[in-house]
Amino acid sequence: MKEQDIERINELYRKSKNEGLTPEEKQEQARLRQEYIAAIRGNLRGTLENVSIQNPDGSITELKKKHVK
């Protein structure tokens, strides 16, 4: 996510607290928030996929996405 998108999220938040948002601005705010959340989840998922845990018995377990049946 671009820095200008984050600045726009903050700008819309401040405007919503001070004077309120138009319906178009509310839609933009919702869209930007969803994009931000998706970016954070993607970054966290990427980080966790590169993490390994050492078990008490000395074996190493990698944190990969588990497939649920």
How does the average pLDDT of the chain come out, rounded? 90
AA identity, residue 55:
N
Report if residue 8 sits inside a domain: yes
pLDDT digits (tens, 9 = 90+) for 27-60: 999 999 999 999 999 999 888 888 888 999 999 8
* Host domain of residue 30: 3-62
Q: Are 53 and 63 in contact (CB under 8 A)?
A: yes
Give how many domains the chain has, as a whole number: 1
Q: Are 12 and 29 in contact (CB under 8 A)?
A: yes
Report if residue 68 sits inside a domain: no
Report if residue 67 sits inside a domain: no
54 φ, ψ (degrees, to nearest 5): -95, 120
The CATH number of residue 54's host domain is 1.10.287
Instruction: Flag whether pLDDT at 69 surpasses 90.
Output: no
**Alpha-carbon gap, residue 69 to 66, rounded angstroms:** 10
Report if residue 46 sits inside a domain: yes
At residue 45, the pLDDT reads 87
At residue 68, the pLDDT reads 60
Report if residue 18 sits inside a domain: yes
